[in-house]
Structure 1
């Protein structure tokens, strides 16, 4: 397929086709982020669906944080995939990860809310 017909054009319209192993490894990383997104969504829903001994408002806040991260993760995965794919196609250095900090902070906040909710319940 010509690069003019591949989506997104701003990724595939630059550089040259890389070794398929690199492109497939980048795709596997993207799919790992999608699995992480599904796990975050499931954890957020489970916090609200199960009758856990956690203070209700803190449980709800933690669930919102997890669901929010679960919704945001695929967007960040797409951006990360595209940045890495462009770098691979240009034979340049891979960009630094941009979403790790947000994910770490979000999960820590949600975990902290649950811990506090357990302590005061």
Structure 2
């Protein structure tokens, strides 16, 4: 795989910051995998929750959130690398408020389903 052109831009950052940026990226990927696992769990094992359509919609939303978070993790990692190479400020990430809102929504829907089902 060819090295992207932005990797030749600016100065090489301190390797500690690059490794910290990679650890953050990997944490975001782990979170995406957890969301995906939650989606599979809801679809395959939460058979007692009703209405089933709501459970399926929630599972799909969690799976889409996992995909969005995976893309957001890469774009954030890349933007941080570019900012560090140019000695600039770290950019704002739209993924943080989005994933927080999805988590809030998923928790609220699950709580409502628990109440309705019991």
TM-score with structure 1 setting the length: 0.88
Question: 2:11 maps to which residue?
Answer: 16
Q: Distance in 2 between matches of 1:90 and 1:84?
A: 10
Gapped regions of structure 2 (runs ≥ 5): none
Matches within 5 A, 1:36-51: 36-51=31-46
Q: 1:87 aligns to what? A: 83
Structure 1: where are the runs of 5+ without partners?
A: none
Superposed counterparts of 1:1-121, under 5 Å: 5-6=2-3, 8-9=4-5, 11-55=6-50, 56-121=52-117
Contact 1:41 1:70 in 2 (8 A): yes
Cα RMSD after superposing both structures: 1.3
Q: Distance in 2 between matches of 1:105 and 1:28?
A: 23
Give the superposition deviation at 1:52: 4.3
> Does structure 2 conserve the Cα–Cα contact (< 8 Å) formed by 1:58 and 1:114?
no
| Residues in 1 aligned to 2:46 and 2:27: alpha-carbon distance in whole angstroms | 30
**Structure 1 outlier segments of 4+, above 4 Å:** none
What CA distance in whole angstroms lies between the structure 1 residues aligned with 2:70 and 2:28?
Answer: 7
Count of residue pairs brought into register by the alignment:
115
Please state how far the C-alpha of 1:97 moved relative to its aligned partner. 2.6
